[in-house]
A and B are shown apart, each in its own frame.
Chain A
Amino acid sequence: MSLVFESDALKLNSTAPATHVLLVACGEYPDLAKAGYGGLAPLTSPRQSVDAMANWFLSGVDGMFPSVGLPAEQAFHNPEAPLGSIEMLASPAHDYVTPLGQSKPVTRSVLINVREAYKRWLKRLGENPNSRGVFYFCGHGVGDGVDQVLIADDFGTDSEAPWTATFHVSNTCQASIRKTKATLLFLIDACMEFSPDLVFQINAPQALVDGKKSGEPLCTEWQVLRATTTNRQAYAQPNDTARFTAALLQALRGYCGQQRAGQMYFDVTAAQLREATSAFLSKMQKPGDAKWQKLGLSQGDGTWNVGIHVLTKRPSVLVELDINPVGFRPVAQVFMERNGTPRDLKTLNGGPAQFVVPRGDWTYGACAVGNLFPEKLCTDQQLSQAVVTYRFDIA
């Protein structure tokens, strides 16, 4: 068992509401060639990505205790469901070093290990409806046109039956929502590209846990957030965090949240997270890019208004300003201002200018050195989304 974190509170009371996290990364795939997929190189981004996810969860007040953790806009925080446990399976399976500098052994993400870890995760979540479960996967995935199948690291080890080292996402979700009352969030950073090899398998990939797909679900709030849409791929730079995971983490770092009535708490719900992640994912790419990636269709039940993470200050907004035509950039400046704060001016020499500001009522504009063009203004704009881009047209 590669439990990289278990809270003291959970050790005293295993049924207390908590957030339980299961992180899985598959990158090495040493037996792909045996299964006839030798042209595929190992993936380097899953291990980077899973470490980044673990770091975000563990850098907060719960993970760093008794040291002071990072604030909620930089790391996990949820007073209603504090961090209870994190189990990590990965390949390569070298030790994970926590933000506190502790080295933790990590189990290799072969299917049998993933299955066992998943059962333990569900057991920890138990029947407490106030608990939250986060399942994260980064690695190879395929689609059958509708459903997604994820590939464990031992794919091909049994060259006669390579597809036995895979698991079915939707069926896993369906079985899970009938085993726990906790709110569940599945974060899947993998391709969904159509695979005829998958479709023509006699033995279809199974769920990670046995169980019925019928009967009344115990869990009423669950969602799958997928890195990509049906029949599409997910991308990553080598040796870097995968694109979807990077967008997700940026969204979690203070860019989304729904204010509780009369309180300075901002619940990061699955719905909020989805929207902000989508915005950052879009922001990372250039229009017309052949490798364009956008979030998959939503899947799940409920209103998705349960806080997975909770901010204690107003969420930020990433504002990107530019002018058109871009030939004016060398003489142009863009700015943001609001009542009581001085104008923040930036040049456009390096391309569009970025500002990070708290949500609220802002005015932004563009002006020129030597008044080469009249000042352009957008006044009294309520900035409430994670990313706002605006281009001033200089007629």
Chain B
Amino acid sequence: MKQLIVSVPGAYSDERLLTVPFDVLGPDGELLANGIASPINHEAIVLEDNVQRVHVVARLPNNQCVQRVCRLDSEVNVVQIPIVTDSPHEWLQWVTPFRSLSHLRSQQSGQQSEPVRRIGQVWMTLWALRNGSWAAEDVTPNEQMRDMGMRQVSLDIPDGQHLLQVGGDSVAWRLVSLPPRGLVRVALTRSTTNEGDSIDVTVGRSHPMNELIMSYLTRGAAMEASLLGDNWKAADLMLYEKLDDPVSAAAGAYFLLKLKRLDSRRHWVENLVNWFPYLADSAIVAAALALQSNDSNEEEVRAYLKLAVDRGLPVFGLGASILVETMAAVHRGDNESEMFRAAYRSAQIYNQARCSKGAYFAFYGRSPEQPSWGQTYGTPDNPLTELADSNYPSWQHSVQKPQSIERKLFGVRGVENRLIVHSYPVIKSRDIAENMSMQRQTKAFSIFDGDE
């Protein structure tokens, strides 16, 4: 028998982001084996003696494949999955499972033949939820790294809910949920395309644990999520609550919920809800779990839902959709209370404004309380709103356009694209929106000055 040792080069500290499920394939694409590898975990695969040459193919969270061919010339053979080779800097390696950075590398080395896209001005504002109200805070990075077309800031995020707003001349304003209790890295890198946003925003903890599973799960790659979960001992995922890491515990809870393996661990979910009172995700999971129970009590589900909306926005994007689905399930229709209706509508609007398939909840908007499905650009004091007619054409637009394309569109008439000033759990006034605008302008932190 021959042995194939599969590993992933990269920093040990990023082990939990650089862990990848892989297949070992023969020359005709036949599946010979599969496994999980990381910078720390070198997986040993045993193959028949007659296998001469294999491909190791890894599927990244961004759905890209990375492969490496290996000739099995000896009894023990070693192959590395080159995830991080795209990265122009060591400090950006952690981004490579989520998006390719090869274009930055070729721009850096001057190998790119096409003109480099202008980024324009880009700014960020940090928001924190304090006593039920969102307030902008000073951005005080622990560390900043920079090169042409790329920036990285590290922010120390304490307990509680935080959103990072990023916007710019050519960057639609969006807000990203930041995981609490530790250092969070935010990478802003020049986009690969000439369309859409001029930069990509990637968020990750400096000491990640289970959130990689969420990246696969949110994208719909349930198989890969399941492989990772099994490798990381799904039964233990929830134990991170005891390690004082509620974000990892919540990720584990979502994973087990989606794979219908959470029912026997109800008390863990209860602990998660009780021990981390600022975390909406745990209450969302608890509500969804209660709903799935045969002896489900609607009052229990509604109590968890109330808790979730009172706590604010979820850390994970999956939480936003599960919240809406669960609220819809217990909605009492015409007999529903005004408070629940308002909270439900708000949850829908936030979910509607979602802007990313990444693990962390991200939505377009002008402020934490102004999610929007239209897109806003510009400097913090001069928002320019695109009416989004190309992306969200109205019924009137459809009849003015050539009829060569059929759209299974249905009646959007007189739509107000910017559904402003909704939040959990009540609808806020326009005055508050203006106050938020002032705060955004005052606390904005320039990240690209417009000269790149």
B-contacting residues of A (Cβ < 8 Å)?
36-37, 39-41, 43-46, 138-142, 144-147, 151, 170-171, 174, 189-191, 193-197, 202-204, 213-217, 220, 230-238, 242, 258-259, 261, 269, 271, 274-275, 287-288, 290-291, 297-299, 301-305, 314, 324, 339, 358-361, 380-385, 393, 395
Contacts and interface: CB of A to CB of B under 8 A. Distances in A.
B63 A275 contact: yes
B57 interface: yes
B109 interface: no
B405 interface: yes
Contacts of A151: 410
A360 B27 CA distance: 6
Given A235-B407, A304-B223, A230 B354 contact: yes
Contact of B325 (A170, A382, A393): A170
Contacts of B404: 237-238
Given A298-B222, A361-B69, 19 more contacts: A39-B395, A40-B409, A140-B410, A145-B348, A145-B351, A146-B352, A189-B408, A196-B414, A197-B411, A197-B413, A202-B334, A213-B291, A215-B292, A215-B293, A233-B409, A271-B220, A304-B220, A304-B222, A385-B65
Instruction: Among A170, A261, A339, A384, find the residue whose CB has the most chain B CB atoms closer than 10 A.
Output: A384
A383 B407 CA distance: 34
A324 B113 CA distance: 10
25 contacts: A138-B408, A141-B410, A170-B328, A194-B415, A196-B416, A214-B298, A215-B292, A220-B260, A230-B354, A232-B392, A234-B408, A237-B406, A238-B403, A242-B406, A261-B31, A269-B223, A287-B193, A301-B259, A302-B259, A303-B226, A314-B28, A360-B27, A382-B29, A384-B25, A393-B113
Which 6 pairs between the two chains have the least Cβ-Cβ distance? A298-B220, A145-B352, A359-B29, A382-B55, A213-B329, A360-B29
A140 B409 contact: yes
Contact of A314 (B29, B57, B293, B354): B29
Given A41-B403, A214-B296, A215-B296, A297 B220 contact: yes
A31 B355 CA distance: 36
Nearest to A299: B321
A231 B390 CA distance: 12
A193 B27 CA distance: 45
A43 B406 contact: yes
Contact of B352 (A43, A174, A197, A231): A231
Contacts of A288: 195
B294 interface: yes
Contact of B65 (A146, A234, A384): A384
Contacts of B219: 298
Given A196-B416, A302-B259, A382 B410 contact: no
A361 B27 CA distance: 5
A217 B69 contact: no
Contacts of B406: 41, 43-45, 235-238, 242
B373 interface: yes
A44 to B, nearest CB: 7
Given A214-B329, A361-B27, A233 B407 contact: yes
B301 interface: yes
A382 B25 contact: yes
